[in-house]
C-alpha cells in the first residue's frame, strides 16, 4: 500500500452538507465503520462545537468506534478575527473532540478575507498561524483546507502561497487546495497545483466540489501534478452538486494510476459499502454511478454482447469483480443473438445447439418491446420466455378458463375487492382438474393474486410461502389513439430470494395478471421449496 498517500473521506462533514441528508449519531458511527472497511486513511467526522450531533459523535466515537485502517479527524475553522486562540470556544471544542488529527478551514482568497471575514490580510494569516500552532502544541496533527484556493489564486496567487507557508511554518502537515465553488476544469487544476508545488515545500492535498461535473477528474489531475492527499465523499454526496466520489477516486487511483492507496482486499468492498452508505443516507443508489452502480457493467447493445461473447475485456474497462460489481447482459429490442446467448449463460440456461430457439427469442423480444414489454428489469419473465422456446419446454401450470374481478364501494366508505379464477390443472395423463377459487383482497390485483394462489397451492404447496414484495405500474402513453398501455412489474419473494416479472396490456388488471402468472410459474419451476428456517 502507498503509505505516503492519504485518502481522506469527508462523507460525515461535507457529505452531510448535501440537501436532504440528516444522519443520526448512530448513522454516523455506522458510516464511519463502513468507510474504515474500504481502507480510507482519514475519516472527517464533523464539526464539534458547531453541531451538537457532531460533538456527541466524537464523544461516542472514543468508546464505540474501533477503526482498523482510518484515523478520525475533527473539522473546524481557524480562530475568529480579533480573538485570542486560547479564548475561542470553537477551537476549544476541536481539542475536546480528542481526535489525533484536526482539519482546519481557512480563507486563502483575498476577496473572502475582506468581504466574508471582514478583516485584514495580515490578521487572516495570523489566524491560520495561531490556530495551527495552538493545536500542534496540544499534540494534534493539523491539515489545513484552503477554501476558494483556486479562485483566489487567479485573483492573487501570492496570497494563497502566503497562507500555505504560514500554515506549514506553524506545523501543519498538509495544505489542501480547495475548489470550493467547484468551477475548475482539470487543465486549470493541474497548472495551479504544479505552480504551487514549485513555490511551496509542504505536502499538498486537493478537495474538489463537483459543480462542473469534473470533481473526480480535477482530483486526478491534481494527483498527476503531485498532490498526495485527496479528499472525497461516499457516492459524491456533498454541498450543491456534491464532491469527488471517494469510490471513483479509490478505484481510479488503484486501477488506472497504479497507486495502491487502500490495503489489499478493500477494493472489492467498494460496491457493498457504497450501497450500504446510500441506505444510511436514505438516498436510492445511483444505478449509473461509475464502478459501483448496478448498471456500471450492464450491456444492452447487441454489438457489445457479440464482442463480449469472445472476450468480456473487449467492452469492459475493468473486471467488475475487482470493485465488487458484476457484469450483466440486458436483453431488449437492442439485443442480438449474442445477447440472448450470454443472458442464457447468466441465467444458467444451456443454449448450445439451439441456434433456432435463440433466433426466435431475439425476434419475439423485438416484437414484444415494440408493444411496450420490457425484459430489462424482469429476468424471471425473460427466463420463462427463453425456456419456452427450447425442445424440453415444460407445459403451462394451468389453462385459464376465465377470471373475474370486482371492486365494491360500500356506503360506509369501505372498499372491497373480490376475484374468482377458473383454471384447469393438467394431471399429466391428458386429463385436467377444473379448479374454481374466489378470494378477497385490498384491491383487484391483490384479490386476483390470492385467488390464483389458492387455486394452485394444493398442487404446489410451497406457493404458500411466496408473496408479492413490490408492484410498479408505468403508463406507456397512447397506443392507436384509443387508450394507454400499462406495464406492470411485480417483485415476488419466497423469503430467500426475489424475482421480477412483467406484464403489459391496455387493461391494468390484465397486465397484472400476466405478471402474476409469470411470478407464480417461476416460483414453481425455479424456486425450490423454502427450507423450514425461512418458512
Ligand atoms: C466550504 C465549507 O463547506 S466549510 C464548512 C461549512 N460548514 C458549515 O457551515 C456547517 C456548520 N456551520 C455552523 O453550524 C455555523 O455556521 C457556525 C456554528 C460554524 C457559525 O455560526 P454563527 O456563529 O451563527 O455564524 P455564521 O454562520 O452566521 O457566520 C460564520 C462566522 O464564521 C466566520 N468565519 C468564516 N470562515 C472562517 C474561518 N475560516 N475562520 C474563522 N472564522 C470564519 C465568519 O466571518 C462569521 O463570523 P461573524 O459571525 O463574526 O460574522
Ligand atoms: C473545505 C471545503 O469543504 C471546501 O472548501 O469546499
Query: pLDDT tens, 511-520?
Result: 999 999 999 9
What's the chain's average pLDDT?
95
d(CA 2, CA 260): 5
Q: How far is CA 410 from CA 50, 259, 366, 416, 533, in A?
A: 57, 69, 45, 8, 42
Contact 423, 396 (CB under 8 A): no
Which pLDDT band holds residue 533 (cuts at 50, 70, 90)?
A: very low
Contact 357, 290 (CB under 8 A): no
Residue 278 beta carbon below 6 angstroms from any ligand 1 atom:
no
Non-local (6+) Cβ contacts of 15 within 8 A are 21, 233, 234, 237, 238, 243, 281
Residue 93: per-residue pLDDT:
98
Angle between helices 270-281 and 246-255 (to 10 degrees): 170
Which three cell numbers, joined as nine digits, stand for 232? 472525497
d(CA 468, CA 494): 9
Quote the ligand 2 centre to 92 CA distance (angstroms). Answer: 21
pLDDT per residue over 385-435, tens digit each?
A: 999 999 989 889 999 999 999 999 988 888 999 999 999 999 989 999 999
| The pLDDT of residue 479 is above 80 | no
Please give the share of the chain, as a percent, with pLDDT higher than 70.
97
Pocket probe mutation, ligand 2, options 12, 14, 210, max atoms within 8 Å of Cβ: 14
d(CA 202, CA 462): 67
In this predicted complex, what is the ipTM? 0.95
Q: Which residues, listed in sequence order, are joined to residue 298 by a DSSP beta bridge?
A: 328
d(CA 5, CA 174): 11
Per-residue pLDDT averaged across 39-55, rounded?
97
Pocket probe mutation, ligand 2, options 50, 167, 207, 230, max atoms within 8 Å of Cβ: 207
Residue 207 beta carbon below 6 angstroms from any ligand 2 atom:
yes
Per-residue pLDDT averaged across 239-268, rounded?
98
Q: Which ligand is nearest to the CA of 78?
A: 1
Q: Which ligand is nearest to the CA of 17?
A: 1
Nearest-atom index, ligand 2, CA of 149: 5
Q: Which amino acid residue places its CA nearest to atom 18 of ligand 1?
A: 50
Q: Which ligand is nearest to the CA of 112?
A: 1
**Domains in the chain and their CATH numbers?**
6-281 (3.20.20.70), 298-376 (no CATH), 399-534 (3.30.160.270)
Which pLDDT band holds residue 201 (cuts at 50, 70, 90)?
A: very high
Nearest-atom index, ligand 1, CA of 119: 45
Residue 207 beta carbon below 6 angstroms from any ligand 1 atom:
no
d(CA 459, CA 184): 66
Lowest mean pLDDT, pick from 14-23, 175-184, 526-535: 526-535
Quote the ligand 1 centre to 13 CA distance (angstroms). Answer: 14
Residue 250: per-residue pLDDT:
98
Measuring CA to CA, which residue among 522, 512, 502 is closest to residue 403?
512
Pocket probe mutation, ligand 2, options 47, 78, 105, max atoms within 8 Å of Cβ: 105
d(CA 247, CA 270): 6
Nearest-atom index, ligand 2, CA of 243: 6
Angle between helices 379-388 and 337-347 (to 10 degrees): 110
* SS3 state of residue 453: helix
d(CA 55, CA 103): 15
Q: Which residues, listed in sequence order, are joined to residue 503 by a DSSP beta bridge?
A: 488
Quote the ligand 1 centre to 268 CA distance (angstroms). Answer: 39
Q: Write the DSSP string, 375-433.
A: -TT-HHHHHHHHHHTSTTPPPPS-EEEEEEEEEEE-TTS-EEEEEEEEEEEE-SSS-EE
d(CA 399, CA 426): 8
Quote the ligand 1 centre to 175 CA distance (angstroms). Answer: 20
Residue 145 beta carbon below 6 angstroms from any ligand 2 atom:
yes
Q: What b-and-e string marks burial along 232-250, b requiring 16 or more CB atoms within 10 Å of the CB? A: bbbbbbbbeebbbbbbbbb
Residue 413: per-residue pLDDT:
84
Per-residue pLDDT averaged across 225-237, rounded?
98
Residue 14 beta carbon below 6 angstroms from any ligand 2 atom:
yes
Q: Write the DSSP string, 10-64.
A: -TTTTGGGSTT----HHHHHHHHHHHHHTT-SEEEEE-TTT-HHHHHHHHHHHHH
pLDDT per residue over 420-476, tens digit each?
A: 999 999 998 999 999 999 999 999 999 999 999 999 999 999 999 999 999 999 988
Residue 355: per-residue pLDDT:
95
d(CA 7, CA 468): 43
Non-local (6+) Cβ contacts of 214 within 8 A are 184, 185, 186, 208
Residue 239 beta carbon below 6 angstroms from any ligand 2 atom:
no
Quote the ligand 1 centre to 184 CA distance (angstroms). Answer: 24
Beta strands 203-208 and 174-179, pairing class? parallel
* SS3 state of residue 435: strand
Pocket probe mutation, ligand 2, options 9, 10, 147, max atoms within 8 Å of Cβ: 147
Q: Which ligand is nearest to the CA of 243?
A: 2
Contact 197, 225 (CB under 8 A): yes
Pocket probe mutation, ligand 1, options 80, 102, 107, max atoms within 8 Å of Cβ: 80
Contact 292, 325 (CB under 8 A): yes
Name the residue with cell 424475482: 499
Residue 378 falls in which region: left (phi positive, over 0), alpha (psi -120 to 50) or beta = beta
Residue 230 beta carbon below 6 angstroms from any ligand 1 atom:
no
Measuring CA to CA, which residue among 507, 526, 488 is closest to residue 374?
488
Quote the ligand 1 centre to 203 CA distance (angstroms). Answer: 26
Contact 160, 152 (CB under 8 A): yes
Q: How far is CA 250 from CA 42, 267, 269, 280, in A?
A: 13, 8, 11, 21
Per-residue pLDDT averaged across 311-315, rounded?
94
Which three cell numbers, joined as nine digits, stand for 315? 467492452
Beta strands 415-426 and 432-441, pairing class? antiparallel
Nearest-atom index, ligand 1, CA of 78: 40
| The pLDDT of residue 2 is above 90 | no
Residue 363: exposed, middle, or buried by beta-carbon count in 10 A (0-12, 13-18, 19+)?
A: exposed
Count CB neighbours of 195 within 10 A.
Answer: 15
The helix (run of H) or strand (run of E) holding residue 440 is: strand 432-441
Lowest mean pLDDT, pick from 152-161, 301-310, 318-327: 301-310
pLDDT per residue over 55-113, tens digit each?
A: 999 999 999 999 999 999 999 999 999 999 999 999 999 999 999 999 999 999 999 99
Q: Which amino acid residue places its CA nearest to atom 3 of ligand 1?
A: 14
Count CB neighbours of 138 within 10 A.
Answer: 11
Geometric angle at alpha carbon 231, from 140 and 64, rounded to 5°? 55
Per-residue pLDDT averaged across 165-183, rounded?
98
Quote the ligand 2 centre to 137 CA distance (angstroms). Answer: 25
Residue 148 beta carbon below 6 angstroms from any ligand 1 atom:
no
Residue 105 beta carbon below 6 angstroms from any ligand 2 atom:
yes
Residue 244 beta carbon below 6 angstroms from any ligand 1 atom:
no
Whether the pTM exceeds 0.90: the reply is: no
Per-residue pLDDT averaged across 490-508, rounded?
95
Quote the ligand 2 centre to 10 CA distance (angstroms). Answer: 10
Amino acid at each position: 500500500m502507498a503509505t505516503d498517500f492519504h485518502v481522506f473521506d469527508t462523507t460525515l462533514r461535507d457529505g452531510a452538507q448535501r440537501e436532504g441528508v440528516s444522519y443520526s449519531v448512530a448513522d454516523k458511527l455506522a458510516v464511519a465503520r463502513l468507510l474504515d472497511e474500504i481502507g480510507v486513511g482519514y475519516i472527517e467526522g464533523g464539526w464539534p462545537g458547531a453541531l451538537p450531533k457532531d460533538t456527541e459523535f466524537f464523544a461516542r466515537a472514543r468508546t464505540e468506534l474501533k477503526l482498523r485502517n482510518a484515523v478520525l479527524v475533527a473539522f473546524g475553522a481557524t480562530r475568529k478575527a480579533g480573538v485570542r486562540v486560547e479564548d475561542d470556544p470553537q477551537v476549544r471544542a476541536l481539542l475536546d473532540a480528542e481526535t489525533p488529527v484536526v482539519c482546519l478551514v481557512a480563507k486563502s482568497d483575498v476577496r473572502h478575507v475582506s468581504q466574508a471575514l471582514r478583516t485584514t490580510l495580515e490578521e487572516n494569516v495570523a489566524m491560520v498561524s495561531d490556530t495551527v500552532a495552538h493545536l500542534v502544541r496540544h499534540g494534534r496533527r493539523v491539515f489545513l483546507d484552503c477554501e476558494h484556493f483556486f479562485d483566489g489564486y487567479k485573483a492573487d496567487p501570492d496570497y494563497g502561497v502566503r497562507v500555505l507557508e504560514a500554515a506549514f511554518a506553524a506545523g501543519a502537515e498538509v495544505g489542501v487546495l480547495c475548489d470550493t465553488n467547484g468551477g475548475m476544469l482539470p487543465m486549470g487544476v493541474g497548472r495551479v497545483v504544479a505552480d504551487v508545488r514549485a513555490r511551496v515545500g509542504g505536502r499538498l492535498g486537493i478537495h474538489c466540489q463537483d459543480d462542473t461535473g469534473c470533481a473526480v477528474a480535477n482530483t486526478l489531475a491534481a494527483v498527476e501534478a503531485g498532490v498526495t492527499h485527496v479528499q472525497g465523499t461516499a457516492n459524491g454526496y456533498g454541498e450543491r452538486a456534491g464532491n469527488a466520489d471517494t469510490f471513483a477516486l479509490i478505484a481510479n487511483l488503484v486501477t488506472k494510476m497504479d497507486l495502491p492507496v487502500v490495503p489489499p482486499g478493500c477494493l472489492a468492498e467498494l460496491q457493498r459499502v457504497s450501497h450500504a452508505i446510500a441506505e444510511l443516507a436514505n438516498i436510492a443508489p445511483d444505478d449509473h454511478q461509475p464502478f459501483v452502480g448496478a448498471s456500471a457493467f450492464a450491456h444492452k447493445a447487441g454489438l457489445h454482447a457479440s464482442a463480449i461473447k469472445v472476450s468480456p475485456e473487449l467492452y469492459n474497462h475493468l473486471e467488475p469483480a475487482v470493485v465488487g460489481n458484476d457484469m450483466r447482459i440486458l436483453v431488449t429490442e437492442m439485443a442480438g443473438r449474442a445477447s440472448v446467448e450470454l443472458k442464457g449463460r447468466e441465467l444458467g440456461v444451456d443454449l448450445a445447439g439451439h441456434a433456432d430457439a435463440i433466433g426466435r427469442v431475439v425476434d419475439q423480444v423485438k416484437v414484444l418491446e415494440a408493444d411496450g414489454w420490457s425484459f430489462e428489469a424482469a429476468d424471471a419473465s425473460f427466463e420463462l420466455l427463453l425456456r419456452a422456446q427450447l425442445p424440453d419446454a415444460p407445459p403451462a401450470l394451468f389453462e385459464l378458463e376465465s377470471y373475474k374481478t370486482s371492486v365494491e364501494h360500500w356506503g360506509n366508505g369501505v372498499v372491497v375487492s373480490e376475484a374468482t379464477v377458473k383454471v384447469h390443472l393438467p394431471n399429466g395423463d391428458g386429463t385436467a382438474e377444473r379448479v374454481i377459487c374466489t378470494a378477497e383482497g385490498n384491491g383487484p390485483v391483490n384479490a386476483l393474486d390470492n385467488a390464483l394462489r389458492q387455486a394452485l397451492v394444493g398442487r404446489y404447496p410451497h406457493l404458500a410461502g411466496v408473496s408479492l414484495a413490490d408492484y410498479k405500474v408505468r403508463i406507456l402513453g397512447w397506443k392507436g389513439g384509443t387508450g394507454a398501455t400499462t406495464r406492470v412489474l411485480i417483485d415476488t419473494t419466497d423469503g430467500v430470494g426475489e424475482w421480477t416479472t412483467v406484464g403489459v396490456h391496455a387493461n391494468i388488471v390484465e397486465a397484472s395478471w400476466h405478471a402474476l402468472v409469470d411470478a407464480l410459474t417461476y416460483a414453481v419451476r425455479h424456486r425450490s421449496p423454502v427450507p423450514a428456517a425461512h418458512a
